[in-house]
Amino acid sequence: MLALRPAACSTFVHPFAPGPAMWRTVFVAMVFVATVFVATVFVATVSGADDVGRVSQDTLRVGDTLYLSAQPGLDPAGANPPTEMGAATRLAMRRLQRALAAEGLDFSDVVSAQVWLTDLGKYGAMNSAYRTFFAKRFPTRTTLGVAALPGGALVQIAMVAFAGPKRVIRPADAKASDLPFSPGILAGDTLYLSGHVGVDPATGQLIEGGVADHVKQTLQNIGEVLKAAQMDFSHVVSSYLYLQNPDAFGIASQAYLTRINQEPRPARMPMGVAALPLGSPVEITMIASRKVRQERRGKDQPPSGAYSRGLLNDDVMHLAGVFRREGTLSSQVDSCIAWIEPILQAGGMGLGDVVEVRIYLAEIQDFPEVADAYRRHFSDAPPTLAVIAVPKLPAKSRIMMGLVASQSKRGNGRPSAD
C-alpha cells in the first residue's frame, strides 16, 4: 500500500491553495488508484493468462492436420470472467471458431477436443452450450475436472482438426447416445479416441470395483472402438491415463500393462485430476495410427519397459510425459527440455518441430515463471499450448510436460491474437 507523507504533499503547487479537506480527498483518490493498479498487476501475474498467448500460437498446420491451442472461456476484450459455465463455454468455442475460420475450416473439421473444467459439477451446462456449435457429427472428446486454469477461466478447450476425409468410428453393437462426442474419429490413417471410463456397455453405468477393475473395463471399451476401425492396441501411439487418485498409479499401471503389452508400447502420460465424468476413478484417452511405429529415445536414455520415451509413426512423434522436481521452476523447465531434445533428435527432429505442448502445474501461480523459461526454448516459432493446474503431479513435482512433434511442422503458424 502506498503511503503519502505531508512533507511530500507540501511540494504540490495548486492555484487554489487547497485546504485540509481537499487534501484528504486527493489522498483517498490516490490511494484508491494505487490499490486498483497493484491489484490488477497481481491478478495478471497470478493468473498467467497473458503469458499463455505470448508463448504460443493459436494454430499450427501440418499437412491436413490443424492443431489449436487451448482457448479459455474469457472475453478477448478483457471483460470480467463469466461466472456461468454455459457463457464461458460459448466464449471459448467462439474463439476456436475464429481460429478455425482463419485456416479455412470450421467445426465440422474438428476430430478431437479436450475440455478442462474447474467445476465438473457444471458438466451439463458445458455440454448444452458446446453441442450447439456442431451441426451433425461430433468430434471425439476428453473432459477433465482440474484445479485451476489461466486467467481464472471456468473452462478451456483445445482441438485438433483435419481437412481431409474422416469418419465416425463406433462399435457395431454400441447403444445410441445423445452425448455430444463420438467414440472415435478416423482421420486419414490416424484414429482419435474419446476419453473412456469403466462403463458397462450393457447398462451404461459405471462398473463396481477398484481402480484395476476400472482400468480393465476402460481398456475393453477402447478395444471395441479400435476393433471397429480394424486396429488393435498395437496401433496405439499415445495414451493419457487420468486418475482421480494419483497415488493409485501403481495399481492402474499394472492393470494397464496387461493389455498394453506389445512393443513398441505407446508414449504415456499419467496424470492426477480433480474429478472425472460419472465420478469414475480412471479415464483413458488414446490416439492410434496405421502407419509404421518406431520407438525413439536418446542414446543415453534407458528403455522404460512400460512405455516408449518417444513413439515415431511416419512423420509424427508422440513423447511420454516428462516431469522434474529438483531446483527452481526455471531449472525444472530447462531440465525437461534437456531430456526431450535427445528423443526428438533420435527421430530426426528438434524443438522447432514441436506442434503441441501440454503443461501441467501443481500451482497455476507458477506459470509466469514457467513461461519465462519456456519462452527461451520456443522463441522463434512456438507450438500450440495448453496450461492446466491439477491437484497432484507424480513424485510431488511442480511441472509436467507432454509434447507432440512433426517433421513436416513448418507449415502455417498463426500467432495468438490476445
Q: What is the pLDDT of residues 129-144, one digit of tens each?
A: 999 999 989 999 999 9
Burial of residue 61, with CB atoms counted within 10 A of its CB: 0-12 exposed, 13-18 middle, 19 or more buried: buried
pLDDT confidence of residue 48: 52
Confidence band, pLDDT 50/70/90 cuts, at residue 50:
low
Which residues have CB under 8 Å from 179's CB, separation 6+? 127
The 10s digit of each residue's pLDDT in 189-229 is 999 999 999 999 988 899 999 999 999 999 999 999 999 99
Checking if the pLDDT of 29 tops 50, the result is: no
- Rounded mean pLDDT of 255-259? 96
The helix or strand, by DSSP H or E, that contains position 138, with its residue range, turns out to be none
Q: What is the pLDDT of residue 247?
A: 92
**Contact of 41 with 360, CB cutoff 8 Å:** no
Residue 303: pLDDT over 60: yes
Task: Please give the pLDDT value at position 215.
Answer: 98
What is the per-residue pLDDT for 76?
A: 86
Q: What integer is the mean pLDDT of 341-363?
A: 96
Say if residues 213 and 242 touch (Cβ distance below 8 Å).
Answer: no
> What's the gap between Cα 95 and its chain centre?
16
β-bridge partners, 245 = none
> d(Cα 343, Cα 299) in Å, to the nearest integer?
9
Query: What is the pLDDT at residue 255?
Result: 97
The neighbouring-strand residues paired with 356 are: 384, 404
Q: What Rg, from alpha-carbon coordinates, does the chain have?
A: 24
Residue 49 confidence (pLDDT): 57
Report yes or no: 49 and 416 within 8 Å, Cβ to Cβ.
Answer: no
The CA-atom distances, in angstroms, between 306 and each of 39, 256, 267, 322 are 47, 9, 9, 14
Least confident window among 13-22, 65-74, 116-125: 13-22
Is residue 264 reached through a cis peptide bond, with omega within 30 degrees of 0 on the bond before it?
A: yes
pLDDT of residue 260 exceeding 90, the answer is yes
Determine the average pLDDT of the residues in 394-403: 92
- Return phi, psi of residue 324, to 5°: -140, 155
